[in-house]
Structure 1
């Protein structure tokens, strides 16, 4: 076995990188092959981010893979550079290959100055290993993995940093009523004024999440490219913006149709709520409830059957309480792992 790191411009290595999941999930109907598009997006959409894809091969055949990632703004609890390892995959019969590729990624990140590493993680949205119920199909922009990945990560000395929860809602228990807060109004996304909506999205993201542990800020251009990439699958009526009487943005809810259903030949009747929040001055004013109710009305009116809210950090109690208030039931559980690199990484 040998491990190689390569440039995304290396077409032969990149072909093997993308081919590996086809083998890992050959008999797994819950995995969506089109989820690999997230890899290409990573290689092209971020500014000033160190990215190094890796393969562990034997006889030219890929056995395991990963991507070492270092965002310039990522910091651990001690404010030291924090690396990520994302898009990890490994054949079940070669767990040692998985350990080898993780070690190589750790070495690369340590040489780049990282003091610790989180895995699996790509960015603010795509992170976590499925450790709970693994019988639920992969939903849009979430990860999916076989159970044996847990043992591989533990063998490298990774420990759970936090759990990330999902909640499932369905029509049979949906809450459908209207609440109006004085001076607060909600509306849907308007792609006809895209550049203004991008500016509002960027401003709200910064205000809402700037104090959240582990959140990495994006530039306005990065947010613009991300939203433009989302437009083909975006349902404008599932993105809710809260404003005051002067149209000052106060809160944002982002929900996407589960387009992975279409890739599996199904009708799209599931959606995924990926983000909800209000600016700090308004976090306890009920804006989240009002935005959720607006979303629920739109989902019911458009014929959606289910909604997955994911993910919610185990330490973030407010949205967990909100999910239960809206009759959400527990879905998949993810775990984000972490280890230090300051000492010898030959764990």
Structure 2
């Protein structure tokens, strides 16, 4: 008999491992990080338990799947949505389990009066979003969604419709011609005393991350679904990122002493997470040191230029610096987080850099009112 449980964290963490099996390309966040993401009063997104919950599906002692149901009140207020979110929808290819999980999330949202539910949001639009709908054979990088092909099918079978198409991309770092990124505009920026790269070191990372937040909020202000990120939210989300950063491959550019542009990259942590099964243990330090010695994959978390400097070649200056540093440091590939089909400028830049498509993603939504 199928059983639903609410707020069973151990089962929630175990669900994708149980549902997808040992050969899956899925990689979980570190268990300790996932726990704090789902902690009311600790995660700034959830001031109390009334704003979110999660469910797991069980049969005969096996965890078959999981899902969160939650609210992002700031997004609804800013964009005029009447929407609840679902996230972390991971499920075996089991119609009954999927129906029960999705139904539980829908009931939670319906009981709070929302007109629709949409996901995956893990947990906001500035974190992992989407359901993978293509490129299933490609291993994900850190902060990228992965699910098997049956997940979008299960959603469609339960009345969900795909929207907001996105893609992720990958570059061979050594094959990028750095000189193609610089021209007269970029050389003028590099020669100008008004521009300077701020130091990115272990002692300055907190300040550079705050610079990055300021740039993010300005650069992304007009993007669909974007909500300005508070300092508390940003540094909560970035907490696990700071201890794995390689300062050589992130950069912040100042203009007249103020944050102007940045590219934040981190080494791909997924090989380490896979080796540890995303759990802390006695062997964790050894696995981490081994990963640091062998890392050759990096992921671009985000890049941005403040609005008043956009279209002037500033992004190419920062990109040139980062890619040169990656080549010198021995990184082989660079993955990137999602780019929507409507972001023509970023897609054009990927084409110019010779990037190859990695994954295809969509959001899925369902109306909760007739």
Match of 2:322 in 1: 295
Hey, what does 1:170 align to over in structure 2?
Answer: 172
Cα distance in 1 for residues equivalent to 2:173 and 2:165: 27
Aligned to 2:23: 28
Task: Report the 3-state secondary structure (helix = DSSP H, G, I; strand = E; otherwise coil) of the residue aligned with 1:146.
Answer: coil
Quote the offset at 1:192 in angstroms. Answer: 1.3
Q: Which residue of 1 aligns with 2:339?
A: 312
**Residue 104 of structure 2 aligns to a residue in which SS?**
helix
Q: Is the Cα–Cα contact under 8 Å of residues 4 and 55 in structure 1 kept in the other structure? A: yes
Instruction: Give the corresponding residue for 1:10.
Output: none
- SS of the equivalent of 1:212 reads coil
1:251 has 2:261 as partner: yes
1:234-263 deviation line (CA, Å, top 9, x unaligned): 11122211211x211111211111011234
1:261-311 CA distance string (max 9 Å, x none): 234456210111121111111221111111111110110010000001221
Q: Does 1:63 align with 2:64?
A: yes
Distance between the aligned counterparts of 2:166 and 2:325, measured in 1?
26
On the 8 A contact 2:212/2:259 being kept in 1, the answer is no
Deviation at 1:74, TM superposition (A): 2.0
Q: Aligned partners of 1:78 and 1:264: how far apart in 2?
A: 37
CA 1:327–1:37 in 2, change beyond 3 Å: closer, same or farther? farther
Q: After superposition, what is the alpha-carbon deviation per residue over 1:176-218, rounded to whole angstroms, capped at 9, x for unaligned?
A: 2354324433345334134433432222222122221112333
Partner residue in 2 for 1:230: 241
Task: Spell out the pairing of 1:24-173 with structure 2 (5 A cutoff).
Answer: 24-34=19-29, 39-44=34-39, 45-49=42-46, 50-59=51-60, 61-75=62-76, 79-92=80-93, 94-122=94-122, 123=124, 124-173=126-175
More displaced stretch, 308-317 vs 182-191:
182-191
CA-to-aligned-CA distance 1:100-131 (integer Å, 9 cap, x gap): 21111011122234322221112122011111
User: Once the 2 structures are TM-superposed, how far is the Cα of residue 342 of structure 1 from its aligned partner?
Assistant: 2.9
Contact 2:19 2:64 in 1 (8 A): no
What does residue 213 of structure 1 align with? 224
> Equivalences for 1:179-190 in 2 at 5 Å?
179-180=186-187, 181=189, 182=192, 183-187=194-198, 189-190=200-201
1:39 is displaced (CA, Å) by 2.6
TM-score normalised to structure 2 length: 0.83
Give the superposed CA RMSD.
2.3
TM-score (norm 1): 0.88
Instruction: Decide whether the 8 Å contact of 1:175 with 1:296 is kept in 2.
Output: no
Higher percent of residues as helix: 2
Task: Give 1:76 deviation, angstroms.
Answer: 8.8
CA distance in 2, matches of 1:237, 1:104: 45
**Corresponding residue SS for 2:73:** coil
Give SS of 1:192's match: coil
* Corresponding pairs, count: 335
Q: Which runs of 5+ in 2 are unaligned?
A: 276-290
For residue 34 of structure 1, report the CA deviation from its aligned partner.
4.6
Structure 2 vs 1, CA of residues 251 and 110 (structure 1 numbering), >3 Å: closer, same or farther? farther
